[in-house]
Amino acid sequence: MVHAISKTLIVKIFKQMVRIRKVEERIASEYPEGKMRCPTHLSIGQELPAVAVGVFSMKKDLAVSTHRSHAHYLAKGGSLPKLIAELYGKVTGCSRGRGGSMHLTDLDCGFIASTAIVGNTIPIGVGLGLGQMISRNTGISIVFLGDGSTEEGSFYESVNFAAVKSLPVLFVCENNLYSVYSSLSVRQPKNRDISKLAQALGIRSKKTDSRDILSCISEVKNSIFYVRNCKKPFLIEIETYRWLEHCGPNCDDNLAYRPKRELESWKKLDPLSAIEDLLLRKDMLTKKKIDLFKKTIENEIDEAFLFAESSKFASENDGYNDVFKI
């Protein structure tokens, strides 16, 4: 199958994936210092869905996300220093240090909200799509969700509403096979296909696998194109896998809730390494250029952490701002 993805675009996707991987590796290594006091869900291994959606999205598009939102935020054009400062609880953070890792908000890049309650942002994203339609904006709404949130009532109500009103909403279901320690096999009936579930609710959908990198990228491209041009909802289900524990910077293989061979096989087919191999094999980038790029990213990350560390905490009075007062 031929995938019409340009060289420039593959290089762009690769660079963004490297950046996000390195940011999260640094968060993981700094976390034990105890200066980031918020629970932190990392997406290491899951970078491709976020980045593929990010490169085809536009500034005018609005996005909502879940508890595992760093990759989504950065891929949507979020600010790295503001992300790290948010994790440090500093006033320079994107949510002014009030939210932490799970509550990222940044209107500058159209990243409206991520929240800790599973399924909570799905109806918000549909509401944003309704808003885009009513105000005749040409932007779309992007709703990142996990496989676990398809077990929430809000998912069904939201997809139904988006279908009935024909809203420009892209549901991006990152199916990493687990909700905390529970695999899909103990949570959903055997052979259920989340993408087909969406069809049963009345919207078009597609399932793709992040290990099949080019196919995954082109399916994401097609789905965004469909929502933008046909002004209709669409669900793309992307198979992916998180490498670390559900919440926190460590591995949790010792808990044995996932077969060892499963994790090993996903690591072996890491989409990021696969893209790097492709770029080298096709002479799209040299090893030297890749190493140089990685060094630049390390410097950018150093600066973001310095910014966060040197920023101030909010004043006590700031706690009374932006809250509902009678």
Ligand X SMILES: Cc1ncc(C[n+]2csc(CCOP(=O)(O)OP(=O)(O)O)c2C)c(N)n1
Q: Does 40 bind ligand X (CB under 6 A)?
A: no
Give the Cα separation of 208 and 194 in Å (integer): 11
Give the Cα separation of 271 and 56 in Å (integer): 18
Give the Cα separation of 262 and 49 in Å (integer): 19
Give the Cα separation of 59 and 111 in Å (integer): 9
Give the one residue of 30, 147, 219, 270 binding ligand X; rule: CB under 6 A.
147
Give the one residue of 118, 124, 142, 167 binding ligand X; rule: CB under 6 A.
118
Q: Does 149 bind ligand X (CB under 6 A)?
A: yes
Give the Cα separation of 58 and 69 in Å (integer): 18
Hey, which residues between 256 and 295 contact Mg ion (CB under 5 A)? none
Q: Does 67 bind ligand X (CB under 6 A)?
A: yes
- Partner whose footprint covers residue 239, from ligand X, Mg ion, none (CB < 5 to 8 Å by kind): none
Q: Which stretch binds ligand X (CB under 6 A): 104-112, 116-124, 274-282, 316-324?
A: 116-124
Q: Does 146 bind Mg ion (CB under 5 A)?
A: yes
Give the Cα separation of 304 and 265 in Å (integer): 33
Give the one residue of 5, 38, 116, 214 binding ligand X; rule: CB under 6 A.
116
Backbone angles phi, psi at 177, to 5 degrees: 75, -10
Give the one residue of 148, 168, 249, 271 binding ligand X; rule: CB under 6 A.
148
| Residue sitting closest to Mg ion (CB) | 146
| Residue placing its CB nearer to ligand X in the complex, 21 or 246 | 246
3-state secondary structure of 137: coil
Q: Does 237 bind Mg ion (CB under 5 A)?
A: no
CB 148 within 8 A of CB 187: yes
CB 91 within 8 A of CB 313: yes
| Residue placing its CB nearer to ligand X in the complex, 267 or 287 | 267
Binding site for ligand X (CB under 6 A): 66-68, 116-118, 146-149, 176, 178-180, 246
Binding site for Mg ion (CB under 5 A): 146-148, 176
